[in-house]
Amino acid sequence: MQTFRHGAAEWGVACPRRPSRVAGVTMAGFRVGDLDALRMVPHPAVTLVLEFGAGPPVLDCVSGQQRGCVVAGPGLGSGGTVRARGENVECVQVRLSPVVAGAILGVSPAELDGAVVPLDALWGREVSGIRERLGEASSWQERFALTDALLARRHEAGRPVDPEVARAWHRIVGSRGLTRVDGLAAEVGWSRKRLWSRFRSQLGLPPKNAVKLVRFDHAVHLLVAGEGVARVAADTGYADQSHLHRDVRAFTGATPVTVADEPFLAVDALAWPSRGTAWSPHLRVENP
């Protein structure tokens, strides 16, 4: 496990040694003694939190509080409306591509409707068994293996999204949100109406919103890496700095300068190395 330090935040972070058996699934392990009002920043994935520690994390949302094992659709935290807190938190956090999330969860991300949902509302009593096995595991690698086996089994038994929908999503992600949505239907060979309807019902958000979320995610990680606002706006397809500022404010409730210092984003270089960031100034290695 490695130690992430950023301001007052100090978290233990673990990463799997092997990629998931399911393309579109990534995960990281967290051990946090004091999680203090962490702003949840929207990400273009379905977020699954499998907690097993002495103190379950608490998510403060507009609709109330959720605690324990939870799941939320793409864009969790839009508008700066979700904060996480807790003491002695231990969890495996999983990011599910919306393309595979429906098969794994058993419901379309559209049914989550951007809200935080208790996992036992979807999986029932199975959740308590998962939590127990994660707590009894002797290492983080064993926890990752248990989690991956569970997700792979559910994915295999689940229903895949339409290939055309998957192709459109991968086109958006591959372009980092710079693809023209009007051209997506022609690329996959469907009418615009059909693609928009299937995309929304199977992935949980319409193509236009997916493009905005993917572009925002790329932009804020460049801000965290130290790039200037003007440069980021120009490099990520925004019309100008004001356009970037409006999107950041809409997604987070904060300014680009504030978001650039968010621990939730700064930890990504360590917790999610598949983003391509090789080094983080906020980490210290312990017992690698």
Concatenated DSSP letters of 170-208: HHHHHTTT-S-HHHHHHHHTS-HHHHHHHHHHHHSS-HH
Q: How far apart are CA 82 and CA 197, in angstroms?
A: 28
**Helix spans in 25-180 (H):** 98-105, 120-123, 126-136, 140-157, 163-174
User: What confidence category does residue 62 fall into, taking pLDDT thresholds of 50, 70 and 90?
Assistant: confident
Does pTM top 0.85 for this prediction?
Answer: yes
Q: How far apart are CA 167 and CA 24, in angstroms?
A: 13
Q: Say if residue 162 is exposed, middle or buried (CB neighbours under 10 Å; 0-12, 13-18, 19+).
A: middle
Same domain, 102 and 180: no
* Pairing outcome for strands 64-67 and 2-6: unpaired
| Mean pLDDT within 238-258 | 94
Q: Give percent of the chain with pLDDT exceeding 90.
A: 76
CATH classification at residue 212: 1.10.10.60
Same domain, 185 and 208: yes
Q: 38 pairs with which residues across the strands?
A: 84
Please state the domain count of the chain.
2
Question: Phi and psi at residue 28, in whole multiples of 5°?
Answer: -150, 155
Same domain, 7 and 115: yes
Same domain, 167 and 140: no
Question: Amino acid identity of 31?
Answer: R
| Mean pLDDT within 274-286 | 39
The whole-number pLDDT of residue 241 equals 94
Residue 145 counted as domain residue: yes
Same domain, 95 and 225: no
Question: Residue 121 sits in which domain range?
Answer: 2-160+280-285
Nearest to 133 by CA among 25, 247, 52: 52
Per residue in 139-152, pLDDT (tens digit) is 999 999 999 999 99
